[in-house]
Structure 1
Amino acid sequence: MTATVVSWDDFKSQTTRLIDQARADHASILFRGHSSSDWDLQTTLERSTHSDSVEDHYGMVLRIKSEIEAFTGLKWSDDADVDYPKIQRICSTYEDFSMRFSRQAPPHYAYMSYLRHHGFPSPLLDWSTSRFVAAFFAFRAHPIADNVAIFAYRERDKSGMKVGGNDVPSIRVCGPYVSGPRRHFAQRSQYTVCTMWSDGGPYFLSHNDVCKPFDPKKDFQQDIIFKFELPSSEREKVMTELEDYGLNAYGLFGSEEGLMESLSLREEFSDI
């Protein structure tokens, strides 16, 4: 997926138009930032060696759930009745799977969002409704590439329609209404999950297999991606502006590590 390199100011003006158009169409835009423009839209599950089978993944995360609850003191009671045998039944036919996964958030959504925010390989791809939060994640680290990337995702075009089937991969947007960790709300998080029915069962797929760049010549589009590449050399300018908005690692993570990162950045850019 190619993109033209734009300045920070051009990014803000172009995304303002995207957001305004989406609102006019009663749609929304999600944003995601990458420290390198070479990186694809990959989940942490894709970057791991764990199985991409939906059934296998739920078997794994439900198997370790009691250990996490014991260590953290947290309890996830949502979907308590959806145990592994029920997951197996849901995954046994396309109709059952489609009914449960396409019409509502995936089972154990709150628990899954916790795992995503705390480093366990997850099929959830995390986004923010804020382009500035996405910019923070793109620019937070010392430059590792000439350009960073910020992706904008729009699920539906102005028609408001979305089509699918059992032989094509499908992306589901999981909304913000979940009892997630504090950082879920601070980062204005939403998530997408990509699945496909194949070889008699459901699998998690890459978003790259589904998302397509906006094409102004097409009458109907879905899962539209806009990719913006920005020079890493603008890091100081961007991070200084974001700090003025109160966007920093401590505010977004609420942890000691976030505080240390925020203090380090303040010292790095002495004019912040």
Structure 2
Amino acid sequence: MADSAYSWEDSKLRAADLSDEAQGSKLLFRGHASSNWDLKTTLERSPHTVDIETYYSTILKIRTEVQTYTNQSWPEDPAFDKIQSELRSGYDSFSRFVTFGNFPHYPYLAYLRHHGFPSPLLDWSASPFVAAYFAFRTSSDEDVAIFAFRERGPSGMKVGGSDEPTITLLGPYVAGPRRHFAQQSRYTVCTKWEKDWPYFSDHSDVCRAFDPNAEFQQDVVFKFILPGSERRKVLTELQMYNLNAFTLFGSEESLMECLSIREE
């Protein structure tokens, strides 16, 4: 995807223009503390397998411990044997169950993503300002990046096939943790059917830079590169909107981060 350098003021104007141009397709945002980082999930950056069946086996195995220590609770439906059966019944079954169905155990997956367990969910925000906070929260002179993602074109249609990885957008209406709502979270998950087996895949295999001459586009990503030197200005402005680590995370650790940044 093409990279574009922006100031903070210019990036806000361009993000507003992109939202207007999206014509009904929701624009989502994601911030990176380094402009060199790729769009990779925490699962891809971990030693865990991207095999979908094995991943579900792992997270359902640890669920009782997570529930015990967090006082949270998630339904056991669908059970693992149901997931296993659907995944092993061929591409059509997998596609109906995962790509076009209600993503299995979505509330539990959202909780795991927000609390550090390696996840196939790539998290986005409906707010470019939340994305900006994540881009600038770490003190560094390195250039940062804010990504904008548009899943569908003006027609609202989306196409795909069994031989191609597919991005599925998971929306805001889920019984997720409080920070899911504070951060206006949305998620994308990329899956593929390869050698008769389902895997989580790399978003960069699907996402494309915007082409103004193309008649039809989907899974489009815009990348804004901003200088790290604008950190103080950006965080000061976000604080005026009461947007900081504590309001986004709500933990004692985030309160300390908020106070530290404020006192800089």
- 1:105 Cα deviation from its structure 2 partner: 3.4
Counterpart AA for 2:21: Q
- Name segments (4+ residues, structure 1) moved above 3 Å: none
Tell me the equivalent position of 1:66: 64
- 1:144 Cα deviation from its structure 2 partner: 5.8
Mean Cα deviation higher: 224-233 or 135-144: 135-144
* Aligned counterpart for 1:82 among listed residues 66, 74, 78: 78
Tell me the equivalent position of 1:108: 105
Deviations 1:12-69 (A, max 9, x none): 00011011122xx221100000000000000000000111000010000001001111
Tell me the equivalent position of 2:218: 222
* Aligned counterpart for 2:172 among listed residues 172, 176, 184: 176
The alignment's TM-score, normalised by the length of structure 2, stands at 0.98
Decide whether the 8 Å contact of 1:176 with 1:190 is kept in 2.
yes
Counterpart AA for 2:139: H
- 1:5 Cα deviation from its structure 2 partner: 1.0
- 1:104 Cα deviation from its structure 2 partner: 3.0
* Aligned counterpart for 1:53 among listed residues 51, 54, 58: 51
Tell me the equivalent position of 1:159: 155
Distance in 2 (alpha carbons) for counterparts of 1:104 and 1:192: 14
Distance in 2 (alpha carbons) for counterparts of 1:194 and 1:236: 35
* Aligned counterpart for 1:264 among listed residues 255, 260, 263: 260
Distance in 2 (alpha carbons) for counterparts of 1:177 and 1:81: 18
- 1:128 Cα deviation from its structure 2 partner: 0.1
Q: Is 1:127 the counterpart of 2:104 in the alignment?
A: no
Distance in 1 (alpha carbons) for counterparts of 2:2 and 2:152: 21
Superposition CA RMSD, Å: 0.9
Counterpart AA for 1:13: L
Corresponding pairs, count: 263
Counterpart AA for 1:12: K
Identity percentage of aligned residues: 57
Deviations 1:49-98 (A, max 9, x none): 11100001000000100111111111112xx2311111111111111110
Q: Is 1:194 the counterpart of 2:190 in the alignment?
A: yes
Distance in 1 (alpha carbons) for counterparts of 2:77 and 2:261: 46
The alignment's TM-score, normalised by the length of structure 1, stands at 0.95
